[in-house]
Amino acid sequence: MENSHVTVLEIDLNAVKINLNYFKSKLYKKTKIVVVVKAFGYGSDAVEIAKFLENSVDYFAVAYLNEGVTLRKGGIKTPILVLHPQKCNLEKIIEHRLEPNIYSVNLLKRFIEISRILKLENYPIHLKFNTGLNRLGFTKNDISEISSLINNQNEIIVKSIFSHIAASEDLNERVFTLQQINIFNSISKEVINLLNYTPFKHMLNTSGVLNYATEAQFDMVRLGIGLYGFGNDEKHTKKLKSVLTLTSIISQIQTIRKGETVGYNRAYKATTTIKTATIPIGHADGISRKLGNSVGYVYINNKKAVIVGNVCMDMIMVDVTNIVCNEGDEVIIYKNQQHIEALAKASNTIPYELLTAISQRVRRVLKSC
């Protein structure tokens, strides 16, 4: 059955395109673009984003196998890099023509084993090196083993080698970042020497493109959050277009008299008569409980309405004492990047988490120009 939820995440594809072009304007023409659409396209709609961008970019990347399968089932033909495969996923990755990030000797050995059994020929894989994030990746010490494993076969081919910066958005960490870039440069040289061919190299995410395009552009970049309008810094975000708008409607308006309470655990106690609006969105839709009790706010008829009491699973109540409004009126839960950033800050997190928390219960709609 079609999703009939009145709480809706609107995705402005045109704005995505404008943001992509903004990043392209920061890059050399020949630089390839990987669009990262993991986590449902940062909470939007991975298939729709991928379909829309398929002819403008070179690659898509997802975190997990099932996200790649969803793209393939959605008709996406572009190469797809799976950033975080597991040993047990490798057959399925091949079955769906996905390209694995191989990040350990263990995983590489298993992939080669499978590629022999399946008699693959030049199957593209990507090698990830850890240069300081200390999350996933080979180290310099693995290079000789990698090259002896890879040079003795023709089932697989290294399409790219890459690394990930730990603090690309934080210019106070510039020295560390430049060191990561140096390490990556020296690892790449060594790998390419031993392979006898030259895979693509890539290192930059959104903030990397904004801050290190000169030092570490290489052959490709991996863009995620930037396409949704976030530059991880006010001055960059200002240049980007708002893509996502989360809206709902007022279900009911209540009058709360002095001494009465609102919501679970009676967290709000009225000291004077107030008017609240109940809205069909709660923590099961992605509104963090941390935003309860006046921390978070929505917009109703262009005015701020703070959340009253605790966030419920399916609802929030907001203060509309001074707002002229009626049941059925539109409520803007996430208005634009600035609003999302303010809410993220107030709840001690980052926009990435707010976006990806918007649950699948919320209806997605594409804004047509």
Ligand X SMILES: *Cc1c(COP(=O)(O)O)cnc(C)c1O
222 is in an annotated binding site: no
User: In terms of CB distance, is 224 or 309 closer to ligand X?
Assistant: 224
- In the list 44, 89, 180, 206, the residue contacting ligand X (rule: CB under 6 A) is 206
The answer for residues whose C-beta is within 8 angstroms of residue 148's C-beta and 6 or more apart is none
The SS3 call for residue 132 is coil
CB of 164 to ligand X, least distance (A): 4
**Residues classed as catalytic:** 38, 264
User: In terms of CB distance, is 164 or 364 closer to ligand X?
Assistant: 164
Element (H, E) at 157: strand 156-162
> Is residue 164 a contact partner of residue 203, using CB atoms and an 8 Å limit?
yes
Contact stretch for ligand X (CB under 6 A) within 70-78, 222-230, 262-270, 314-322? 222-230
DSSP-assigned letters across all residues of 262-331: ESGGG-EE-SS-EEEEEES--TTTT--GGGTTTT-EEEETTEEEEEES---SS-EEEE-TTS---TT-EE
| Cβ neighbourhood burial of 343 (10 Å; 0-12, 13-18, 19+) | buried
> Is residue 338 a contact partner of residue 351, using CB atoms and an 8 Å limit?
no
> Is residue 32 a contact partner of residue 126, using CB atoms and an 8 Å limit?
no
Provide the token pair at 310. Answer: 């605790």
361 is in an annotated binding site: no
- In the list 71, 225, 274, 343, the residue contacting ligand X (rule: CB under 6 A) is 225
- In the list 44, 115, 205, 278, the residue contacting ligand X (rule: CB under 6 A) is 205
CB of 137 to ligand X, least distance (A): 10
The count of other CB atoms within 10 Å of the CB of residue 78 is: 15
CB of 205 to ligand X, least distance (A): 3
Query: Which residue sits closest to ligand X, CB atoms considered?
Result: 224
- In the list 224, 231, 263, 282, the residue contacting ligand X (rule: CB under 6 A) is 224
For the chain, give the number of residues.
369
The answer for residues whose C-beta is within 8 angstroms of residue 235's C-beta and 6 or more apart is none
- In the list 132, 137, 199, 226, the residue contacting ligand X (rule: CB under 6 A) is 226
DSSP-assigned letters across all residues of 68-100: HHHHHHTT--S-EEESS--GGGHHHHHHTT-EE
Element (H, E) at 255: strand 252-256
In angstroms, the CA 337 to CA 335 distance is 7
Is 222 near ligand X (CB under 6 A)? yes
Is 229 near ligand X (CB under 6 A)? no
Kindly determine how many residues on this chain lie close enough to bind ligand X according to the rule CB under 6 A: 11
User: In terms of CB distance, is 19 or 205 closer to ligand X?
Assistant: 205
Is 237 near ligand X (CB under 6 A)? no
Instruction: Write the binding mask 59 to 98 for ligand X: x where contact by CB under 6 A, - elsewhere.
Output: ------------------------x---------------
User: In terms of CB distance, is 83 or 243 closer to ligand X?
Assistant: 83
Contact stretch for ligand X (CB under 6 A) within 86-94, 218-226, 333-341, 353-361? 218-226
Is 223 near ligand X (CB under 6 A)? yes
> Is residue 12 a contact partner of residue 198, using CB atoms and an 8 Å limit?
no
- In the list 13, 76, 164, 286, the residue contacting ligand X (rule: CB under 6 A) is 164
> Is residue 44 a contact partner of residue 11, using CB atoms and an 8 Å limit?
yes
Is 108 near ligand X (CB under 6 A)? no
Is 19 near ligand X (CB under 6 A)? no
Is 36 near ligand X (CB under 6 A)? yes
CB of 33 to ligand X, least distance (A): 11
Which of 328, 153, 344 has its CA nearest to residue 248?
328
Going by the annotation, the residues of the binding site are 135, 313
Q: Which residues bind ligand X (CB under 6 A)?
A: 36, 38, 83, 164, 205-206, 222-226
Going by the annotation, the residues of the binding site for substrate are 135, 313
